[in-house]
Amino acid sequence: MGRIHEITSALVQPQDTTYGNRSANVIPLFSCQQYDAAHVDFCYAEKSLLALDVVGGVLLVHQIWWVYVKAYRMSFKDMRLWIFSLCLVSQAYTFVHYGLIYKIYRAKLFFLNELFRFLVLFYICYYYIDKASGLVSNRKFIMRLMRIWAVISVFFVFFNGYVIFLHIQENNADVQSRNLCTSIWFEMNRLFSLSITPIFWYIYWQIRSKIVSIQRETELDKKIYQSQ
């Protein structure tokens, strides 16, 4: 765990314009100079993930344009297109964040990663509730509650990002001591996407219970019919 914490701290820690004898103002995609020898292995792993991110982006473009739009002639009002398009935007920003943005600015913009993650999970959950009209009790109430929660969460994600930005600007010494990634404001970034998980499992449990109940009723009707 200590090694993981050390690498994570090195990633999110904003640096000065120099990192030892290496310049930190270099495009991360083309160089590992912003990492010291202890963390250069993480840099190589990051490049591999960026390559996978590009492959995933190509697959999403194919699914959105050639499958949904061209083959199925799906309307842009369809929520499935929203979800896949949001995933594409999220992947594009992930590539920009870890491949093009200077390391000294990453921590200031890290909240955008969590914002996209929250929105993707929210729309997936919302889509399942919308389509499972006969399988989820109190469907309209849950959808209304989710919309309210989404507005509140997006507001606090931006507010949290603003607080982190001020923390970096006003407490540079604390940032340099690598305490930012363990601060409560930075850790709160993950709470918003995690907040969708209980709702998702609740919807899954309701849909599964309803399907099992229908299957049991069908089997019971068959037995009654066969016994007559």
Q: What are phi and psi of 23, to 5 degrees?
A: -75, 135
pLDDT score for 84: 95
At a CB cut-off of 8 Å and minimum separation 6, what does 44 contact?
Answer: 32
Domain boundaries, the chain: 2-227
pLDDT score for 22: 44
- Rounded to 5°, angle at Cα 166 from 162 and 171: 150
> Is the pLDDT score of 20 beyond 50?
no
> Is the pLDDT score of 2 beyond 80?
no
> If DSSP codes are grouped into helix, strand and coil, which group holds residue 22?
strand
> Is the pLDDT score of 180 beyond 60?
yes
pLDDT score for 136: 82
Tell me the residue ranges of DSSP E strands in 155-203: none
pLDDT band at 34 (very low <50, low <70, confident <90, very high): low
What is the distance between the alpha carbons of residues 101 and 27, in angstroms, rounded to a whole number? 7
CA quadruple 70, 76, 81, 83: dihedral, nearest 10: 170
At a CB cut-off of 8 Å and minimum separation 6, what does 225 contact?
Answer: none
Element (H, E) at 19: strand 18-19
At a CB cut-off of 8 Å and minimum separation 6, what does 111 contact?
Answer: 157, 158, 160, 161, 164, 189
pLDDT score for 198: 86
